[in-house]
Amino acid sequence: MGIHLIVDLLGVRPERISRVKPVKDILEKAVRESGLNTITASFHQFEPYGVSAVYLLRESHLSVHTWPEYGYVALDIFACGDDESALKAYEILIEELKPEVVEKKVLKRDLYEKVKEPITPRACPL
């Protein structure tokens, strides 16, 4: 099914993650250069600072939540199919955000290999 990266970034400079514009520029670069495909993206600016961003991708999703006052970014990338695009997006985000500390968890979403046949959905009774 794919790869799911759950990442905590610490020690990120606050000016890189306080406002939507710099966060959006970094995320757009990561999505574009990694080969991921955006369906839609949504951004929220918190006051006085902080950003949440979610990309709905053809491959699945990418989300970022920032706490500039702590230099902290919570990053989530889930991509179905080829792992390379998700890993490339991750590498670009690390290069751009320049965290002092990275804590990464990688989940392989591969339960489909354990299923012999596709499950046919049943109609719900009314």
Name the residues annotated as catalytic. Answer: 60, 65, 80
2-12 burial string, b = 16+ CB within 10 Å, else e?
Answer: bbbbebebeeb
Neighbours of 62 (CB within 10 A): 27
Q: Are 34 and 93 in contact (CB under 8 A)?
A: no
